[in-house]
Amino acid sequence: MNFEPNTCEKEYAKDPEIKQEDIQQLLDWAEKQQHMPKITEYQTIQFYHATNYSIQKTKNLMEIHYAYKNEAPEFYTGKDFDKPRYQHNFWDVAYCFDLPMSTPEGYRIVYCGLKDFDPAKYNYEIITAMFTKIMLTIIMEQGLCCGYAFIHDLQGFSFSHLSSVSISLIRKFLYISQETLQLKVRQIHIINGRSIIEKIMMLTKPFLKKELFDMIHIQSDINKFQESFGKERLPLDVGGTLPFTRDELNEKMKAKVDAFADITQKELDLRSDVTKINGDKENNFTSTNGSFKKLVID
C-alpha cells in the first residue's frame, strides 16, 4: 500500500478561512521565540484551525503543546516506538484506527478498543503513547476536518486493567486531550462498558472539564448505538455493515503508522527548550497538579 502525506496546498484549498498570511505571521512569531522548536507550516495550519482561526489562541496552543511535552515525555516517545515492546504490546493488544466514513456532521471517526483481554498484557503508557502516534499519523495523511468522534469500546476491559493504571498518567493524558491537541474533539461514545464505566468515570471526572464531559455519550444498549450511530459506519465485528473487520482496519492503520514513521517522529521529538523561557512566561509553564496556568502571549 502506498500512503502519501497531505500538503499545505491541499489544506489551504480545503478551508478558505485559513489565510496564508496569517499562517506566515504565526511562523514569523514562533521563529522569534528562542525557546520554541522549528514548527512546520503544516502543523501551524492544524493549530490555527483547532482554535477557530484565532491568532492569539493559536500562539497559546502552540506554546502549551510544545512545552507540555517536557512534562509528559512518556506520551511523545519518538524513536522508542520502533522498539519491539511497543510494537508487540500495542498491535497485539489493542485496536486503534480511523473509519472510512464520517458522521452525519462530518466528524472523522476513530475506534479504540482491546484486542487481547489479558490484563497482564495491558500497558496504559504504551497504549496511550501509540494512540498519540496514530492520531498524528491520521493528521499527517488526512489533515483538517471539522471534528473527531471517538468510539471507545470497553469490551474485555476489567477492574484489573483499570487498577494497573496510575492516576498520574490518567491526569496527564486527560490534560493533553483537553488542552494541547491540534484537533477538535466533538463526540466520545463509550460502548460495552456496563460493568466498569462507573469506576472509570469516578476516577476521571475530577480531571474532566465540563466541555469534554458533556461530549461523552455512554451507550448502555449496543443495539441502539449501532442503529443510531449507523451500522454503515461500523466494522463487521462491531455489528456494522462496513466490509472490513477490526483486524483488517488495524493492519491498515499499522501500515500507515510505519509509512509515516519518519515524519511523525520528527514532530513527536519537537518540544520547547524550557531553559530559554524567561521571567513571567517561565512561571506560566510551571505545572501544578498537571495543569499549566493560562498563558497570555505577546
pLDDT at 85: 61
For residue 254, give the CATH number of its domain.
Answer: 3.40.525.10
pLDDT at 287: 47
Specify if 141 maps to a domain.
yes
CA torsion sign, 68 to 261 to 128 to 111? positive
Specify if 81 maps to a domain.
no
122 and 230 belong to one structural domain: yes
193 and 220 belong to one structural domain: yes
Specify if 139 maps to a domain.
yes
pLDDT at 290: 38
- Supply the range of the domain harboring residue 192: 91-260
278 and 190 belong to one structural domain: no
98 and 227 belong to one structural domain: yes
Specify if 78 maps to a domain.
no
How many structural domains comprise the chain?
2
pLDDT at 15: 97
pLDDT at 104: 97
pLDDT at 278: 66
DSSP-assigned states of every residue in 101-126: S--TT-PEEEEEEES---GGG--HHH
Whole-structure pTM value: 0.91
152 and 252 belong to one structural domain: yes
Specify if 86 maps to a domain.
no
Low-confidence stretches of the chain (pLDDT < 70) are 78-88, 278-298
What are the Cα distances from residue 3, in Å, to 79, 95, 102, 142?
A: 20, 20, 20, 10
Specify if 183 maps to a domain.
yes
pLDDT at 286: 44
Strand extents, DSSP E, the chain: 94-98, 108-114, 148-153, 185-191, 216-219
